């Protein structure tokens, strides 16, 4: 049964687990074999923990001999982003400060996932402290995009996205502040979900009362994504923003979904520059919603001072997270993080008050939109995958970028709205780079959002291309 199990979906493999046709130990062997084949090409899972995984699997099989008792994931191996603690497993946060850090306690979300039958086999690579649109750090180096190893998988959940596309794991955990689940999913032609704030616990972060950064799932297709969200969602006493999981599972919500009645398409948000071919391909991909019977309307979505508002709030977030580290380890922290934190230092109370008012206004804009439309759809990223050796693209659609967040404003705008957002593949550009959509739903509307995404996915058919063997290539001209 272990031949080519890595090619099956998570839902299919979990079904095999529940029927007793494959064991968690066999799946761990499958992951180990696949990583031996592809990991040298992409560097997506720099920390492997197969011994711990096998111990967990044996304990799970001993304590719960009936596979149907093992929770949503039933013994499925998966990857955890290297920003999130796993007991007894090297966890570096992509920082040389923590290069040898081994936590003695797992993050509450990891505990929840393991309690639902997930088995951690690896930590996925991430930029330093998750800050960056390209996945590299001084501890583990660069992660490459399996579709073209000369290109980046984006960041900051780039390791998870690359590992999924290359068939190393069936599910990847990640986090998202300005697009860290969504852009890597777009670049690697997988699916990623930024849930509504409070849907998934953030556990022990210092910014417990901020809705900017969330934890969430990534997978190769939408049904797998829904399954993983079921294993993550729910109230957690460690996180004051969390709330109970829905009575009806996200996986079950896919089975009786209704076609979205009205869909709004915007080629950009707040005037953020978007690659010309990306705009065209995303617009053309709306034909799949039309084929489903949805009414699609192209709109213009203006946001006043989008970049200023997001940077103000993000920078304050960085002050909370990084101020003390800058005092003690400034020389070990990369310039982008120093810049973002010092931007926060320079802000006045009036600056922050203005950003909060702007965020409240933006939220109302989205609510007014959702009073008329079921979904908002935009390109999944401002530009396709770029040179793996760059921190960020230098220009987008002829516009020079002044900082590393300039390539993330499409996704950052949605972060400010507190809406759930799904990244889903829709096409490939002339250079073979993956292009995707960002599908935005109503706050706490993950069930309807995932259902719409599953319908779109069936129409587009791109999920059937995965997994792939890593492919070498060259960097397309700018």
pLDDT tens for residues 246-261? 999 999 999 988 999 9
pLDDT at 447 over 90: yes
CA–CA gap between residue 460 and residue 286 (Å, rounded):
10
Residue 421 within a domain: yes
Residue 478: Cβ-neighbour burial (10 angstroms; 0-12, 13-18, 19+): exposed
Q: How far apart are the first and last CA of the chain?
A: 46
Full DSSP string of 332-388: GS-HHHHHHHHHHHH--HHHHHHHHHHHHHHHHHHHHHHTT-SEEEEESSSS---BT
What's the average model confidence in pLDDT over 266-293? Answer: 98
228-241 pLDDT, tens digit each: 999 999 999 999 99
Q: Is residue 41 part of a domain?
A: yes
The verdict on residue 477 lying in a domain is no
pLDDT tens digits, one per residue of 181-200: 999 999 999 999 999 999 99
Residues 285-298 as b/e (b if ≥16 CB within 10 A, e otherwise) read bbebbeebebebee
Cβ neighbours of residue 196 under 8 Å, at least 6 residues apart? 214, 418, 419, 420, 443, 444, 445, 446
What pLDDT, in 10s, does the model give residues 142-152? 999 999 999 99
Question: Which CATH number characterizes residue 112's domain?
Answer: 3.90.1300.10
Q: Do the beta carbons of residue 154 and residue 183 sit within 8 Å?
A: yes
CA distance 76 to 123: 15
User: Please, what is the average pLDDT of the chain?
Assistant: 97
Q: Which distant-in-sequence residues (6+ apart) come within 8 Å of 256 by Cβ?
A: none
Provide the domain count of the chain. Answer: 1
Mean pLDDT for 100-111 is: 98
pLDDT recorded at residue 163: 99
> Sorting pLDDT into bands at 50, 70 and 90, what band is 138?
very high
Q: Could you tell me which of 283, 475, 451, 250 has the C-alpha nearest to residue 384?
A: 475
Mean of pLDDT values over 312-318:
97
Per-residue pLDDT averaged across 353-374, rounded? 98
Give the percent of the chain with pLDDT over 90: 98
What average pLDDT score do residues 306-326 get? 97
Residue 207: pLDDT band (50, 70, 90) is: very high
Tell me which residue range forms the domain holding 112: 5-465
Q: Which two tokens stand for residue 127?
A: 């930029």
Q: What is the mean pLDDT of residues 410-426?
A: 98
Q: How confident is the model at residue 478 (pLDDT cuts 50, 70, 90)?
A: confident
Q: Which among 136, 82, 137, 97 is positioned nearest to 322, based on CA atoms?
A: 97
**How many whole angstroms separate alpha carbon 353 and alpha carbon 193?**
29
210-225 per-position pLDDT tens digit: 999 999 999 999 999 9
Confidence class for position 2, pLDDT limits 50, 70, 90: low
CB–CB of 458/396 below 8 Å? Answer: no
Predicted confidence (pLDDT) per residue in 320-348, tens digit? 999 999 999 999 999 999 999 999 999 99
318, 84, 91: which is closest to 200 by C-alpha?
84
CB neighbour list of residue 434: distance below 8 Å, 6 or more residues apart: 147, 186, 187, 188, 189, 384, 385, 425, 428
Alpha-carbon separation of residue 200 from 100, 454, 478 (angstroms): 28, 21, 38
Q: How far apart are CA 312 and CA 227, in angstroms?
A: 35
Q: What is the pTM of this model?
A: 0.98
pLDDT at residue 277, rounded to an integer: 98
pLDDT exceeds cutoff 90 at 1: no
Closest CA to 441 of 386, 389, 377, 353: 377
Other beta carbons within 10 Å of 183: 34
Q: Does 94 map to a domain?
A: yes
Whether 470 maps to a domain, the answer reads no
Mean pLDDT value of segment 71-76: 98
**Alpha-carbon distance 177 to 412, whole Å?**
7
Q: How many helices (H) and strands (E) does the chain have?
A: 15, 15
| Structure tokens, 328 | 């003690």
Q: What is the pLDDT of residue 257?
A: 87
Region 284-292: mean pLDDT is: 98
């Amino acid at each position: 049964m272990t031949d080519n199990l890595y090619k099956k979906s998570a839902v299919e493999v979990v079904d095999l687990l529940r029927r007793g046709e494959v064991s968690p130990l066999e799946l761990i062997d499958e992951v180990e074999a696949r990583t031996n084949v592809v990991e040298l090409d992409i560097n997506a899972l720099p920390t492997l923990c197969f011994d711990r995984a096998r111990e967990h699997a044996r304990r799970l099989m001993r304590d719960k001999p009936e596979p149907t008792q093992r929770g949503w994931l039933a013994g499925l191996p998966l990857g955890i982003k290297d920003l999130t603690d796993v007991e007894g497993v090297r966890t570096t946060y992509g920082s040389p400060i923590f290069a040898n850090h081994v936590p003695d306690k797992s993050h509450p979300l990891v505990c929840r996932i393991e309690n639902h039958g997930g088995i951690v086999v690896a930590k996925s690579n991430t930029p330093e402290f998750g800050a960056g649109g390209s996945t590299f750090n001084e501890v583990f180096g660069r992660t490459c995009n399996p579709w073209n190893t000369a290109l980046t998988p984006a960041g900051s959940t780039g390791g998870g996205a690359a590992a999924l596309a290359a068939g190393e794991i069936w599910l990847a955990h990640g986090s998202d502040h300005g697009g860290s689940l969504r852009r890597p999913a777009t670049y690697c032609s997988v699916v990623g979900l930024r849930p509504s704030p409070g849907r998934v616990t953030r556990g022990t972060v210092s910014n417990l009362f901020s809705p900017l950064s969330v934890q969430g799932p990534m997978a190769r297709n939408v049904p797998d994504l829904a399954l993983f969200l079921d294993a993550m969602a729910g109230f957690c006493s460690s996180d004051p923003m969390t709330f109970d999981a829905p009575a009806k599972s996200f996986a079950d919500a896919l089975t009786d979904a209704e076609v979205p009645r009205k869909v709004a398409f915007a080629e950009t948000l707040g005037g953020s520059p978007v690659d010309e071919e990306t705009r065209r391909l995303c617009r053309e991909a709306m034909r799949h919603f039309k084929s489903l019977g949805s009414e699609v309307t192209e709109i213009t979505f203006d946001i006043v001072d989008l970049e200023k508002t997001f940077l103000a709030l993000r920078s304050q977030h960085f002050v909370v997270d990084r101020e003390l580290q800058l005092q003690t380890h400034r020389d070990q922290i990369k310039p982008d993080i120093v810049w973002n934190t010092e931007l926060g230092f320079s802000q006045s109370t009036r600056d922050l008050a203005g950003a909060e008012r702007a965020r409240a206004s933006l939220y109302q804009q989205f609510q007014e939109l959702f009073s008329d439309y079921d979904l908002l759809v935009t390109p999944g990223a401002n530009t396709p995958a770029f040179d793996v050796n760059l921190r960020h693209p230098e220009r987008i659609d002829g516009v020079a970028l002044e900082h590393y967040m300039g390539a993330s404003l499409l996704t950052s705008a949605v972060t400010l709205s507190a809406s759930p957002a799904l990244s889903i593949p829709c096409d490939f550009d002339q250079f073979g780079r993956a292009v995707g959509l960002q599908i935005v739903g109503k706050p706490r509307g993950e069930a309807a959002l995932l259902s719409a995404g599953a319908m779109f996915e069936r129409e587009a058919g791109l999920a059937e291309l995965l997994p792939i063997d890593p492919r070498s290539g060259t960097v397309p001209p700018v």
